[in-house]
Amino acid sequence: MMIIKRVSLLVSCLVVALGAMGQAALMTADRKVAAFYPEGYDATQHQPSPIFEHEPTAVMPLSADWQLRPRFEQRDGHSVATIAVGTGVDLYGTGEVTGPLRRNGRSVQLWNVDTPAYGVDGGSHLYLSHPWVMGLRPDGTAFGIIADNTWRSAIDCRDDEVVFTSDGPAFRVVIIESDGPQQLMAELTRLTGHMELPPLWALGYQQCRFSYQPDARVREIADTLRMLRIPSDVIWMDIDYMDSYKIFTFSPKEFPQPAQLNDYLHRQNFKAVYMIDPGVKAEQGYFVDDQGTAGDYWVKDRDGQPYVGNVWPGPCHFPDFIRPEVRHWWATLYKDFMATGIDGVWNDMNEPSVFGGPGGTMPVDNLHGSEKWDVRSEKYNYMNTSDNSAGKTNNTSHLSPLTSHLRFHNVYGLNMVRASRDGLLLANPQKRPFILSRSNFLGGHRYAATWTGDNLSSWDQMWLSIPMTLTLGLSGQPFNGPDIGGFCESANADLLAHWTAMGVFFPFVRNHTIKGSANQEPWAFGDEVLQVCRTAIERRYRLLPYIYTLFRKASLDGMPVMRPLFMADPKDLSLRREDRAFLLGGDLMVVPKDPKAQGAPDISTLQKKWPPITSALKTIEAPSGAVGGASPSAHPLLLQRPGSIIPMAQLAQSTAELRTDSLTLLVVLDADGQATGQLYEDEGDGFSYRAGNYRQSRLEASLAGRQLTVSLRHADGHMPAPAQRWLRIACIRGGRAQFSAWQQGDVATMKLHKK
Ligand code: MIG
């Protein structure tokens, strides 16, 4: 009672003091999250925050023993927050970055940019921004720091402090304390929201290039994938399907009948994803431009006139996605477009990229907002209390209706995909939307997946794609991956083989390359490479029950699908810098082969404890005869965690054909002869899973004498099991696998050989 009184007193003091507010700090009742407000904090310059789906409900005065506290200051016209983090801390996160996984000693600019081969400003800023740093202490406890700030800024990760420097007004900082990295990700996504479960097909292999054209070439690619029995799910339509690069149109010459084309693809179990850019060709009589002009939906220049910048179509207008009414309009555009049978959308160039614009984008003094935008409907959190009336204000006197691009640049892409997502749902309310976005911001994982933009076909950038994808996962964006084979310039046989061989274990798996480069499909470099790619992709498809279960988990508690090794043992300091080997989920370690490595590779402590599953795969893959065939050296080493069970399906050529009625269970027992695993099943698309139409099962193995029993126990959800379920065990001990017979039912047993 006493405490509550004091809190509300504190809160009302702070609310009264708004405008000339002093520095303040509150924390949540569970003492895990603290929000820090700098002196003079003006919520109208930062809120509503795109980051938080649920604002931290900070209701208590900060406890005296709370460790991390920002120091706020104004320095040389910048707003600065410095957080001393203590010694011996390893820093991670900071979003999409070049460089290593461990971020100590690294600086990142938060200013989304179109950066071919990551060449702009030495790769110090890329397509997405995440004002988020994660810290891991020597004892394995973790913390996270969010700067709730969209303005152009920078993060400096020093060894003992983290510094956020912004070109905008003073911003608040939210700090999370937790027992370990896993709990930290759960806490982060409790605040930022969860990635929605993607459709199963989006986890399959995807074939792309800039551009497959005309439509006959698209058909040919689809036919070839099926003819060569390369499991695959998606063909991508890059920018050239359009009429003169006008979004929401089709080239009358090269793609005259998109519905027929999509139909053709669907009949072969392919999905079709098409690109939509933000730039709208400024052309009277073009319906998108006419509607946008009539509605006054464009970003304005400093004089308040519609801004015009050059992109692919030539002079373009840019929808002001920051405004709710513009997002609403944008969403409506998808209806007819999707009705041609389009399954997913690719939003590119949304940094936004402007050819010849200052810094490759629009001027920072361009203007967002409008006189018509009713800012009074927005909610601002000063002190976010459970008592809403005390903590929120509708005071908007500080907000000019038009606000500079400097504030909204970094969330232009986020707001675009937010609108696109609404559009896909409007067009197909029964389907899970799939959107791939090049640009985004912390929190934007709620709307779209991402890929790492225009990388280079080089060994360096192949290796770089590992820490990039890991870091995005640790920054709350679990669904991402690189262009496999590399985008800029041409791949070669070895590079494509190695990149595909490891790339199939990334969350997002798409082969893509630039216009004018050498062909890069799995068959482009002859039979050897084809063999490697096919085997790798087959592994992906066999592992989909396991991978889909990981996506389900990510959608519930924010655990990245692809994880750094330190997640397996946060106290093992030797794993903290490892960013070549990585984990797919908690149970599978991928150690990519380095064809240029001299001598024996570095073996991590973990690697010595986890047995390889190679021999099990050999038996499983025997019919296709691929392992041990040509270029086997391209395949990564795959190791499985002791105490785990990985469910694998029978090979399918697409997710439409994937079945979970016959599962091979890879079992590695722990020292006590036990192992567990998880299996998530649902319809693969649609939303019935939200009403319980899914099936979560727990896999359990135990050894009694030499008798191994593995059972599949229904744990949650009311989707019926397959009419008949067949299980077989592959028990891995040391380097060997022993298989049981296929057995019908939810239990399989076998007698293990003597070791
Ligand atoms: O200015 O649409 O990152 O994947 O193929 C380049 C053409 C525009 C950039 C994307 C790339 C895509 C390309 N786009």
Test site for ligand 1: of 237, 348, 354, 455, most ligand atoms within 8 A of the Cβ:
348
Digit-coded pLDDT (tens) for 637-694 = 999 999 999 999 999 999 999 999 999 999 999 999 999 999 999 999 999 999 999 9
Residue 600 pLDDT level (bands cut at 50, 70, 90): low
Distance CA 181, CA 139 (A): 11
Q: Are 233 and 206 in contact (CB under 8 A)?
A: yes
Q: What is the mean pLDDT of the chain?
A: 92
| Ligand 1 pocket, residue 348 CB under 6 Å | yes
* Ligand 1 contact via 239 beta carbon (within 6 Å): yes
- pLDDT in the model for residue 601: 64
In the reported structure, the alpha carbon of residue 107 is separated from the centroid of ligand 1 by a whole-number distance in angstroms of: 27
- The pLDDT value recorded for residue 734 is 86
H or E segment and range at residue 464: helix 459-474
What is the distance in A from the centroid of ligand 1 to the CA of 277?
10
Residue 40 in contact with residue 170, Cβ under 8 Å?
Answer: yes
Please give the number of the atom of ligand 1 that sits closest to the Cα of 453: 3
3-state secondary structure of 76: coil
438 Cα: distance to centroid of ligand 1 (angstroms):
9
Of residues 456, 361, 438, the one with CA closest to residue 119: 456
Q: Are strands 90-93 and 314-317 parallel, antiparallel or unpaired?
A: unpaired
- Work out which ligand 1 atom sits closest to the CA atom of 353: 1
Q: Which atom from ligand 1 is nearest to the alpha carbon of 438?
A: 3
Flag whether pLDDT at 395 surpasses 70.
Answer: no
Q: Could you identify the atom of ligand 1 that is nearest to the CA of residue 487?
A: 4
Distance CA 424, CA 478 (A): 21
Q: For 13-36, write each residue's pLDDT tens digit.
A: 444 334 445 789 999 999 999 999
- The answer to whether residue 483 is catalytic is no
Residue 130 CB less than 6 A away from ligand 1: no
Q: How far apart are CA 668 and CA 612, in angstroms?
A: 10
Pocket lining: 540 vs ligand 1, CB cutoff 6 Å = no
Question: Which residue lies with its CA nearest to atom 13 of ligand 1?
Answer: 210
> Which amino acid does the sequence have at 376?
R
Statement: residue 373 has pLDDT above 90: no
- Closest ligand 1 atom to Cα of 210: 5
Query: What DSSP string describes 9-63?
Result: HHHHHHHHTTTSPPPEEEEETTSSEEEEE-TT--GGGT-S-SS-SS---EEEEPP
Q: Is 237 in the pocket of ligand 1 (CB under 6 A)?
A: no
- Residue 745 confidence (pLDDT) above 70: yes
Q: What angle do CA 162, 167, 172 make, to 5 degrees?
A: 55
Residue closest via CA to ligand 1's atom 6 equals 349
**C-alpha to C-alpha distances, 293 to 247, 375, 570, 651, 741, nearest whole angstrom:** 15, 22, 54, 51, 67
Say what the pLDDT of residue 714 is.
98
Pocket perturbation via mutation, ligand 1, pick of 207, 239, 488 by most ligand atoms within 8 A of CB:
239
Distance CA 369, CA 323 (A): 6
Q: What is the pLDDT of residues 700-709, one digit of tens each?
A: 999 999 999 9
Percent of the chain with pLDDT over 90: 87
Q: Give the integer Cα–Cα distance in Å for 581 and 587.
A: 13
210 lines ligand 1 (CB under 6 A): yes
> Parallel, antiparallel, or unpaired for β 726-733 and 662-668?
parallel
Per-residue pLDDT at 391 exceeds 80:
no
Q: Whose CA is nearest to atom 12 of ligand 1?
A: 210
Lowest mean pLDDT among 50-64, 280-294, 351-365: 50-64
Please tell me the pTM assigned to this model. Answer: 0.95
Length of the chain equals 755
Can you tell me which atom of ligand 1 is nearest the CA of 312? 1
The rounded Å distance from CA 110 to ligand 1 centre is: 21
How far, in Å, from the CA of 114 to the mean position of ligand 1?
9
Q: Look at residue 501 and tell me whether its pLDDT is greater than 80.
A: yes
Regarding the beta carbon of 320 and ligand 1, being less than 6 Å apart is answered: no
Among the listed residues 454, 521, 587, 621, the single catalytic one is 454
- Per the annotation, the verdict on 351 as an active-site residue is yes
Q: Give the model's pLDDT for residue 604.
A: 80
* Rounded average pLDDT over 446-455: 98
The per-residue pLDDT for 379 is 65
In angstroms, what is the span from residue 554 Cα to ligand 1's centroid?
Answer: 28
Give the Å distance between the CA of 210 and the centre of ligand 1: 7
**How far separated are the first and last CA of the chain, in Å rounded?**
65
| Atom of ligand 1 minimally distant from the CA of 277 | 2
* Angstrom distances, CA of residue 743 to CA of 660, 736, 737, 749: 14, 21, 18, 8
Beta bridge partners of 81: 72, 164
Which of 210, 353, 483 is the best mutation target for the ligand 1 pocket, counting ligand atoms within 8 Å of the beta carbon and taking the most? 210
Q: Which residue is catalytic, options 114, 351, 521, 685?
A: 351
pLDDT for residue 57:
87
Is the CB–ligand 1 distance for residue 181 below 6 Å? Answer: no
Q: How far is the CA of 685 from the centre of ligand 1 (A)?
A: 28
CA of 332 to the centre of ligand 1 (A): 24
Ligand 1 binding pocket includes 311 (Cβ within 6 Å): no
Rounded-to-integer distance, Cα 713 and Cα 393, Å: 51
Interval 527-536 mean pLDDT: 96
How many angstroms separate the alpha carbon of residue 44 from the centre of ligand 1? Answer: 35
Best of 113, 128, 208, 238 to mutate for ligand 1, by most ligand atoms within 8 A of CB?
238
- For residue 416, give Cα distances in angstroms to 49, 163, 350, 559: 15, 29, 8, 25
Evaluate whether 420 touches 448 at the Cβ level (below 8 Å): yes
CB of 238 sitting under 6 A from ligand 1: yes
Q: Is 454 in the pocket of ligand 1 (CB under 6 A)?
A: yes
Phi and psi angles of residue 172, each rounded to the nearest 5 degrees, phi first: -90, 160
Q: What sign results for the dihedral spanned by CA atoms 522, 523, 525, 527?
A: positive
Of 575, 569, 698, 715, the C-alpha closest to 642 is 569
Q: Is 378 a catalytic residue?
A: no
d(Cα 150, Cα 442) in Å, to the nearest integer? Answer: 9
Q: Binning pLDDT at 50, 70 and 90, where does residue 370 land?
A: confident
In this model, does residue 699 exceed pLDDT 90? yes
For residue 163, what are the CA distances in angstroms to 133, 160, 257, 612, 647?
10, 10, 54, 42, 44
Any residues with CB less than 8 A from the CB of 5 and at least 6 apart, and which? none
Q: Provide the CA 198 distance to its chain's centre, in angstroms.
A: 11
Question: Which position has the higher pLDDT, 676 or 386?
Answer: 676
Query: Does the pLDDT value for residue 372 go beyond 70?
Result: no
Query: Which one of the listed residues 55, 215, 348, 621 is annotated catalytic?
Result: 348
Q: Which of 115, 112, 51 is nearest to 409 (CA)?
A: 112
Q: Is the pLDDT of residue 634 over 70?
A: yes
348 CA to middle of ligand 1, Å?
7
Q: Tell me the pLDDT tens digit for each residue of 300-342.
A: 999 999 999 999 999 999 999 999 999 999 999 999 999 999 9
47 vs 16, 151, 298, 387, CA distance in Å? 19, 12, 21, 19
CA-to-CA separations, 390 to 12, 39, 663, in angstroms, rounded: 7, 19, 55
- Give the C-alpha separation, 523 to 537, whole Å: 13
- Alpha-carbon dihedral sign for residues 292, 296, 300, 304: positive
Q: How confident is the model at residue 633 (pLDDT cuts 50, 70, 90)?
A: confident
